[in-house]
Amino acid sequence: MTSTPHQTAPGIVEIEATALRLRDHVLRTPLLHSPFLDAIAGRRLLVKAECLQPTGSFKVRGGWAAVSALAPEVRARGVIAYSSGNHAQGVARAAAAMGAPCVIVMPADAPRVKIDNTRALGAEVVLYDRETDDRDAIGGAIASDRGLTLIKPFDDPQVIAGQGTAGLELAEQAAHLEALHADVLVCCGGGGLAAGIALALESRAPGLRVRTCEPAGFDDTARSLASGTRQRNATMGGSVCDAIVTPSPGLLTLPVLERLAGPGLVVTDDEALHAMALAFQHLHIVLEPGGAVSLAAALFRKDEIAGDTVFCIATGGNVDPALYRETLTRFA
Amino acid sequence: MTSTPHQTAPGIVEIEATALRLRDHVLRTPLLHSPFLDAIAGRRLLVKAECLQPTGSFKVRGGWAAVSALAPEVRARGVIAYSSGNHAQGVARAAAAMGAPCVIVMPADAPRVKIDNTRALGAEVVLYDRETDDRDAIGGAIASDRGLTLIKPFDDPQVIAGQGTAGLELAEQAAHLEALHADVLVCCGGGGLAAGIALALESRAPGLRVRTCEPAGFDDTARSLASGTRQRNATMGGSVCDAIVTPSPGLLTLPVLERLAGPGLVVTDDEALHAMALAFQHLHIVLEPGGAVSLAAALFRKDEIAGDTVFCIATGGNVDPALYRETLTRFA
């Protein structure tokens, strides 16, 4: 396993170079709009639909960025990732396209669709218990045994640069709409997407400000930003927003967010589900709960948001059909 | 009501002029891709997601094109449309944006969400019985009484030109993918979208060929193309694909399709529902049955399609939540 102890977050040059590498391999996602959602949000609301990416989440950006950045002889030995599912699929897709072996370490309670899809993408899946096992230790051991390179889900400069390419796109799209000052709501687990977007916007759209969005009870980033020290979640299980539950913000990502992001936003699980139903009705996109917390914040925390326009990154759409049906029953 | 008896289908010049007028008012929709769907389709499958348009269907293109083409004093008197829902919303949105009064004549059995959304967009909704009433007669009478201009759903040169802008986008997107020879599957009611796209492709991507897609039992276009004479559907009710059930192909659209389209494709209602569920799982878009028949044809009529790439236009996403839940129960 390659050890890289003194990494730093990427700069705008790295993010723009990554965007060139990703072109033709990830989708330039559209900004969606509905007058019905504007009415609820109390301002113009524009949703960048990362759920439309191949494999259903923004994670294809970081996965492709990291795997494509490896030296050919390193990549040929293979890669490993630990992930609740979306990062897994992003890495597996990139590895398969580049002919690299791929092992994915996933929590045993991840949605079935994510486990199945990761296997279908050609990866070997190793399951662990989210409450009792240490996924970093499991992943590290397998990586050492087989000479695999660990692709971390967020605390990796290449991954942050990859996710940051969404911010480059947003900067261009916002300029076209003449939206020069607005909050950008980003679903936040370890903070790779939020940090990457914040770094891209710092250079390309400095009037746009990232706001992290998390589920209640798993708001480690909001508490870290408020307290000025890195906070941990009390538990790792129990939120329907499984895709964005991480133990704590990243060592690379948190300093970026402390410097560039506004206060963190927190929504309830039911608000995330309600936002999923509204996205079904008015945007015609499928979101998973963890991918809908930013939309939920735009719709249900409007007093904590500034400006007459707000952007949301809707980050993923891999949701079990049974949960989706239940959500439509309750909220649509 | 303005009468225009000797209209002809638009040419590429009109379609390109319309595209300039629509820019900034409709979405340039992305082409979505999933390796899982490729495996079912047996070839590369790319889905142009028109369900992501504001109001949830491609009809915003034709609606904006037609209302924006009216002389200001004509537009100020108002517009009227008869529509099972998506054309209604497209016209209502354009009229509201341009400050024109708008009356919509809708079948009483249209999905509730379409009726509600049309009213929420500021239109006056008049309901009629799909089996017993003549919507053309009802619309014509109201238009005469109030001096409104009737915006026909498909047999109108401006509407066809508006829908054709999707074909201009597709020609550019296909060229970027180096897909120069492929079938383009289009959900087909009266044929405005299919004809508009066919006309755009004729000039801008002549190796791409439109194939109309319809639900079984309501395959008036397929039968018209096969027989060389304009066929009618035996009934107007009973298909879950309500959005694309029309009495017969248009007088303007059918000659275009006879000249440019391949044989029509026909799928069952269950195949359309199955395609909706697969779009949920693998593309993360919400489709209505009538908006999914093209995807169903790509997935379940693969022996009737030529080439190693196929394009689908997924035309709309306004589906009642109860039907969507039932569809996921059966097919996801």
* pLDDT tens for each residue of B116-146: 888 999 999 999 988 898 888 888 889 999 9
Asked whether residue A78 carries a pLDDT value surpassing 80, the answer given is: yes
Torsion of CA A178, A183, A188, A194, to 10 degrees: 60
Smallest Cβ distance to B325: which of A51, A113, A328? Answer: A328
Name every chain A residue with its beta carbon within 8 A of the beta carbon of B284: 51-52, 56, 285-287, 317-318
What's the pLDDT at B238?
81
- Residue A208: pLDDT band (50, 70, 90) is very high
What is the distance between the alpha carbons of residues B20 and A146, in angstroms, rounded to a whole number? Answer: 56
Give B175→chain A minimum CA distance, Å. 13
User: What crossing angle do the helices spanning A59-69 and A86-98 adopt, rounded to 10°?
Assistant: 40
In chain A, CATH 3.40.50.1100 covers: 12-58+157-331, 60-150
What's the pLDDT at B134?
86
The encoded tokens of residue A49 equal 């639909």
What's the pLDDT at A238?
81
Give B32→chain A minimum CA distance, Å. 7
What's the pLDDT at A1?
42
Asked whether residue B72 carries a pLDDT value surpassing 90, the answer given is: yes
Q: Do A120 and B325 touch (CB under 8 A)?
A: no
Which tens digits make up the pLDDT trace of B265-290? Answer: 999 999 999 999 999 999 999 999 99
Residue bearing the bigger pLDDT, A19 or A246: A19
What is the distance between the alpha carbons of residues A250 and A227, in angstroms, rounded to a whole number? Answer: 16
- Which parts of B42-134 fold into alpha helices (H)? 59-69, 72-77, 86-97, 112-120
CATH (residue range B12-58+157-331): 3.40.50.1100
Contacts of B125 (CB under 8 A, 6+ apart): B88, B103, B104, B106, B115, B118, B119
Q: Look over chain A and give the mean of its residue pLDDT values, rounded to a whole number.
A: 94
What's the pLDDT at B5?
52
Smallest Cβ distance to A325: which of B29, B121, B329? Answer: B329
Give B88→chain A minimum CA distance, Å. 16
What's the pLDDT at A83?
81
Reduced to 3 states (helix: H, G, I; strand: E, B; else coil), residue B171 is helix
Which tens digits make up the pLDDT trace of A223-233? Answer: 999 999 999 99
CB A46 within 8 A of CB A309: yes
Which tens digits make up the pLDDT trace of B141-200? Answer: 899 999 999 999 999 999 999 999 999 999 999 999 999 999 999 999 999 999 999 999
Is the CATH code 3.40.50.1100 the one for domain A60-150? yes
- Residue B69 vs residues A87, B13, B94, B102, B218: alpha-carbon distances, Å: 48, 15, 11, 15, 32
